[in-house]
Structure 1
């Protein structure tokens, strides 16, 4: 008798929202609305949200000291898939906590479930996003969300195989490709994982041969996809004119061909605004390795030797700070193909 293999949840999972903890509400409001061009809603003195589309919440900002991403929300297509993912997590002995009514309300979702994630980023799944009847007030013409989800998260890790194993276990994430890159003499290997047609919803970067993490924050950057090239160009100009730091100039990536730039958020991690990445055809796609992150552009803006030294100091400190993992969901990790 053959035991049935559980069906894959791939394609039924979409990055839905991100939760950020910050005390810099004034700067974040200017950055999100006046620079990037998103819609803003104030919920209370300690809570605000940004919208990209008709969903009530794509970014929830909560007052607090972390200056970092503290949770990622994943939209699950239906209740059956939601329960399938819940059963997987329970089977591995990982604690789950249903979201409170208040937590679900501020995220604009129903049936919220929360559980531990790598690097201390709480993972949240939900079934039904609430939509707003209020018209969007945005400087941007629009953003691409839909079946692809709202963008991606990029994370640096000293345990990339375990992190890849985690998202494979929970969401049946698939490897899209790799990038090998050398920055300031440090060799990086970046793994790109997809959970639907978007080229990647997760990018995991690791220093080759050294167990160090040169980034202070849990995420290195967030990405959102602009509807038009004009939106990218105009937001780039607004970021500069408003005095926010630009991390990388406009350029085009080697693997997903997205044209983008990277600004530095008030909390210190980076924010990528991109346009026109390729969409994956599951019938023909084969993972490959690209040399360098960019075909052209993406040049550092305003980086000094002091900035580079700070990164090396952070990397050295990370040796004494074990990275948070969820071993029972990561297993032995997934070795590189």
Structure 2
């Protein structure tokens, strides 16, 4: 545990929640295997013809890829530090009459946890909570020398939402997330606002973007990207080169973000959402936490992060997807939004 305040002293679960794993449904398992192991440099375990798992550390599972048609992230797994924290989260969900169910033993085993409970989340992404992860002494077989997880969790998830205040309210209600900062950015003539939320010492575990002035979503997948953090700059740059050499699509070149100062690049996964591989972001430890005030940054990057291989066809596909969302309500969990605004 960190030295953040915990439920026994302040009633908050902040600092006791960590992104533990990501569940993806895809029919492109052979591409995912090549992408994860050969390009990004993760440890891969092929459990059967329908199941892949990626490891980054001693956990038996950090990414679970299961055969299915969604081509999307379908669940996020959050580890909570203790049973008191767990009970507090469960109470928040059930008191607002949102169903919460226990996962089957098979589901828990596949995710590398002892037990898990599941409830509805924004954009149709199931939220799963657990206390005990399964570790393994089996040595990692991967091209990377290591990844940063620990107290900061696996990384972060970013999504584009037509109802950003509701999504922010959801994570504040359930996990006591705190606002780290905002970014205002113009992309292809559209004004975008991004909110960055933290639930522990990682600068953000959730990022929520919206297009200002118009409720459209040009992204097919429920998440825009998932982030993982390289242990060294060389590891990050080596994986960039492998992604390029192996022919996987690079979306944004290496650059540095304005707010968390992370160096990173973005590539496109076999399922269509992006993976950000980063290095050395700001850590908001207890000392910084006590004085942190949210700021608004102009622009996502201080340098780099240039688009790579963007085509007219890509733009047309995004425009067509945006039109599909007009008039269609975004999947939400209004009982858990908490009435947060801005």
TM-score scaled by structure 1? 0.97
Structure 1 position 27, deviation (Å): 0.3
Equivalent residue for 2:330?
323
* SS of alignment partner, residue 301 of structure 1: coil
2:219 matched to 1:212? no
Unaligned runs of 5+ in 1: none
Matched, 1:9 2:13: yes
Residue in structure 1 matched with residue 269 of structure 2 by the alignment? 265
1:31-42 aligned within 5 A? 31-42=35-46
Q: Deviations for 1:21-61, whole angstroms, at most 9, x for unmatched residues?
A: 00000000000000000000011111110000000000001
Q: 1:5 to 1:94 in 2, by over 3 A?
A: farther
- 8 A Cα contact 2:105 2:115, kept in partner: no
CA distance in 2, matches of 1:111, 1:77: 14
Residue 161 of structure 2 corresponds to residue 157 of structure 1:
yes
Counterpart in the other structure of 1:298 = 305
Structure 1 runs (4+) greater than 2 angstroms displaced: none
Root-mean-square deviation (Å): 1.2
Change (3 A) 1:292 1:262: same
User: How far is the alpha carbon of 1:306 from its aligned partner?
Assistant: 2.2
Alpha-carbon distance between aligned partners in 1 of 2:220 and 2:262, rounded to the nearest angstrom: 26
Partner secondary structure for residue 289 of structure 2: coil
Residue 198 (structure 1) aligned with residue 205 (structure 2): no
What per-residue deviation string (whole Å, max 9, x for no partner) do you get for residues 55-75 of structure 1? 000000110000000000001
1:308 is the counterpart of 2:315: yes
SS at match of 2:147: coil
The match for 1:277 is 281
2:45 and 2:53 in contact (8 A); partners too: yes
Q: CA deviation at 1:305?
A: 2.1
Equivalent-residue separation in structure 1 for 2:292 and 2:35 (angstroms): 37
2:68 to 55, 64, 69: 64
2:57 corresponds to 1:50: no
The answer on 1:254 being equivalent to 2:261 is no
Could you tell me which runs of 5 or more consecutive residues in structure 2 were left unpaired when the two chains were aligned: 1-7
**Paired position in structure 1 for 2:183:** 179
Q: Distance in 2 between matches of 1:284 and 1:29?
A: 43
**Deviation (angstroms), 1:321:** 2.3
Partner SS for 1:209: coil
> Is structure 2 residue 303 aligned with structure 1 residue 335?
no
State how many pairs are aligned.
332
Please give the secondary structure, in 2, of the residue aligned with 1:267: coil
Equivalent position of 2:3 in the other structure: none
TM-score, structure 2 length as denominator? 0.96
Counterpart-to-counterpart distance in 1, 2:14 and 2:312: 43
CA shift digits 1:67-104 (9 cap, x unpaired): 00000000100111111101110100000010111111
Q: Deviations over 1:107-127 (max 9, x none)?
A: 110231000000000000000
2:231 pairs with one of 216, 227, 231: 227
Correspondent of 2:121 among 117, 123, 130 = 117
Question: Cα deviations across residues 267-314 of structure 1 (Å, max 9, x unaligned)?
Answer: 011000000000112112110000000000000000012212221221
Cα distance in 2 for residues equivalent to 1:110 and 1:173 = 25
**Aligned pairs (5 A) from 1:19-30:** 19-30=23-34
